[in-house]
């Protein structure tokens, strides 16, 4: 049973970036597609805003590697997603139609992710970054892709909120590996805290039984 549960464990990694790519560096598309492939190769699922541009490139990369790609749409239905927002529906295994416009979509998308990677990006990407930063999510910055991705370090320095859990790299493979290492460390810490909490709860329960032995007798009578 344990082996089965491990085999289905996937890291949910959001790829955030510009839907309009005029601000991106020339090599951003190739890097982001490779990012999508690397997330899959290293045991992850690609989550995006189900939009065009950078997130779409990541979704393409994930599907080229036979991985899982899940989109989170600002629309309330597939019809609105296509006709009102003019967003794609291919290269996704599933699209979650949030119905919360872009700002609400961004919140749900980042909250659903174990980590967030920024590639290129404009103001919407910065919004997803700040949500992830406030939530203390592990964040990866694919440097050299242009836009907000190459401004994040300066923004964080001026923000006076500490460095956050952010890693930087211009190599998609190395960036994903660094990020997954942080996810694993966080997961181990959470498990340790859970075990300690359960032990303390068990200890308190045993203490109550010692202090009140009649409780056990009454339970047996029932």
CA distances from 155 to 25, 35, 101 (A): 19, 23, 26
Provide the pLDDT for residue 221. Answer: 45
Strands 44-48 and 139-142: unpaired
Provide the pLDDT for residue 203. Answer: 75
Residue of 136, 137, 174, 130 whose CA lies nearest to 152: 130
Confidence of residue 218 (pLDDT cuts 50, 70, 90): very low
Provide the pLDDT for residue 209. Answer: 59
Provide the pLDDT for residue 208. Answer: 64
Q: What pLDDT digit, counting tens, does each position of 13-58 carry?
A: 999 999 999 999 999 999 999 999 999 999 999 999 999 999 999 9
- What's the rounded mean pLDDT across residues 118-123? 98
What pTM did the predictor assign? 0.85
User: Rounded CA gap, 68 and 44, in Å?
Assistant: 8
CATH of domain 9-184: 3.40.50.450
- What's the rounded mean pLDDT across residues 180-204? 85
Provide the pLDDT for residue 222. Answer: 45
Per-residue burial over 169-208, b if 16 or more Cβ lie within 10 Å, else e, is bebbeebbeebbebbeebeeeeeeeeeeeeeeeeeeeeee
User: Rounded CA gap, 168 and 107, in Å?
Assistant: 23
**Hey, where are the domains in the chain?**
9-184, 188-221
Confidence of residue 105 (pLDDT cuts 50, 70, 90): very high
């Amino acid at each position: 049973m344990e082996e089965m549960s491990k085999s289905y464990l996937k890291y949910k990694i959001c790829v955030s970036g510009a839907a309009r790519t005029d601000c991106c560096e020339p090599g951003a598309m190739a890097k982001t597609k490779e990012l999508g492939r690397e997330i899959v190769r290293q045991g992850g699922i690609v989550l995006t805003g189900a939009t065009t541009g950078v997130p779409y490139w990541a979704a393409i990369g994930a599907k080229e590697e036979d991985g899982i790609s899940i989109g989170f749409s600002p629309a309330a239905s597939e019809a609105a997603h296509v006709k009102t927002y003019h967003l794609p529906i291919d290269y996704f295994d599933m699209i979650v139609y949030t119905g919360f416009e872009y700002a609400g979509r961004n919140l749900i998308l980042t909250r659903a992710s174990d980590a967030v990677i920024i590639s290129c990006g404009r103001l919407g990407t910065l919004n997803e970054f700040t949500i992830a930063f406030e939530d203390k999510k592990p964040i990866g910055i694919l440097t050299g892709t242009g836009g907000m991705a190459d401004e994040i370090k300066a923004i964080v320095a001026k923000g006076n909120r500490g460095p956050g859990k952010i890693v930087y790299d211009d190599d998609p493979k190395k960036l994903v590996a660094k990020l997954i290492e942080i996810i694993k460390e966080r997961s181990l810490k959470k498990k340790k805290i859970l075990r300690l909490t359960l032990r303390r709860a068990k200890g308190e329960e045993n203490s109550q039984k010692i202090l009140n032995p009649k409780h056990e007798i009454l339970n047996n009578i029932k």
